[in-house]
Amino acid sequence: MSSAWIFPGQGSQAVGMGQDLYDQFAAARAVFDEADAVLGLPLSRLCFEGPADQLTATENAQPALLTTSVALLAALGWSSDGPVDVLPAFVAGHSLGEYSALVASGAIPFAVALRLVRRRGELMAAATEGTMAAVIGLDMEPLRSACAEASELGPVVVANENAPGQLVISGAANAVSRAGELARAAGASRVLPLKVSAAFHSPLMTAAATGLREAIDIAPVEVARVPVVANVTAQPITHPDEIRAELVDQVTAPVRWIATIEYMAAAGVDRFVEIGPGTVLAGTVRRITPEATRVNIGKAGEVLAAGSGI
């Protein structure tokens, strides 16, 4: 059986996440303690105790989710310089989760990734233009056509290709509203406005991408020990130059999650292990490749149940 590790992105955070890991695993405790020291703020307490509105804030949610995912890896016995034969065939992450995947691959040290996602969160939080909406029950091409027609009102794109019939559009508020109307007319069962501060994964995030490039250009990046299937291209990357370009481009580009899972399945992966809070990604895998085995590891009990079988 060939496995891939997949890591969730923003939206999977929940108050209390990681508390059981901190209490039960010394290796996980060290990860949370390192995060507090690197960022100079009580991130672990925010994960464990909230309040929810502060944890949900983009600049906090992003490092909090990265830290929890890496703490889970540590609790499972992973280390960045551990034996290659215990690593998966591929890693991938949804949007922010790509940073967790890169840490897991050995391409970026945890402390470096932590600083980058904190900066990424700050830049994305500063972007207040536009909005997003989930579109349920419509195929990709009709939704792209709806966005193209609505773009006369402003930029609007399919931003998250999460699963068949589960897509997200992003862009200028009036254009997103019009694209939603056109999507309903084309057969979408629901169009749900999302509670976001800006139009993530759209051209309206160009300023955030430019700001993040400055931090990424000087960050140490190594050759990945495991191929990372990139959000932007849905193709594996390992070289530092590819990784740097991916982390900048993914801020404005769509998350091609359907194609990402399809690529790994076609390459022989038949077991997807979601490492992080929640079960969102396992749900997308069920819709994209229902024959694959799905495993969730987000709590201490699931770490113990998995043992070394990740």
Write out pLDDT tens, residues 192-232.
Answer: 999 888 999 999 999 999 999 999 999 999 999 999 999 99
d(CA 91, CA 71): 16
Amino acid letter for position 277: P
Q: Which of 79-88, 191-200, 211-220, 293-302 has the lowest mean pLDDT?
A: 79-88
Q: Is 201 a catalytic residue?
A: yes
151: helix, strand or coil: helix
Provide, rounded to the nearest whole percent, the portion of the chain with pLDDT above 70.
99
- pLDDT band with cut points at 50, 70 and 90 for residue 308: low
Work out the average pLDDT over 273-285. 97
Location of each CATH 3.40.366.10 domain in the chain: 2-126+204-306
Domain 2-126+204-306 sits in which CATH superfamily?
Malonyl-Coenzyme A Acyl Carrier Protein, domain 2 (3.40.366.10)
What's the CA angle centered on 242, arms 236 and 243, to 5 degrees?
85
Location of each CATH 3.30.70.250 domain in the chain: 131-196
Tokens found for residue 192: 């749900």
Q: Which of 12, 94, 100, 201 is catalytic?
A: 201
Of the candidates 129, 130, 141, which has an alpha carbon nearest to the alpha carbon of residue 183?
Answer: 141
Q: Are the C-beta atoms of 187 and 223 separated by less than 8 Å?
A: no
Q: Which residue has the tokens 């949007």?
A: 95
pLDDT value at residue 85: 67
Residue 203: left (phi > 0), alpha (psi -120 to 50), or beta? alpha
Q: Is 95 a catalytic residue?
A: yes
pLDDT value at residue 241: 97
Domain 131-196 has CATH 3.60.10.10: no
Residue 82 has pLDDT above 80, yes or no: no
E strands, 86-174, in order: 90-93, 131-136, 156-163, 166-171
Mean pLDDT of all residues belonging to the chain:
96
State which H helix or E strand residue 304 sits in: helix 300-306
- pLDDT band with cut points at 50, 70 and 90 for residue 80: confident
Amino acid letter for position 70: V
Q: Other CB atoms closer than 10 Å to residue 220's CB: what's the count?
A: 9
d(CA 93, CA 90): 10
- pLDDT band with cut points at 50, 70 and 90 for residue 307: confident
CB-facing half-sphere around the CA of 83: CA atoms within 13 A = 4
Distances (CA, A) of 154 to 132, 134, 180: 13, 18, 14
pLDDT value at residue 14: 96
d(CA 281, CA 294): 9
d(CA 34, CA 70): 11
β-bridge partners, 160: 168, 255
d(CA 232, CA 239): 15
Q: Which of 95, 100, 105, 170 is catalytic?
A: 95
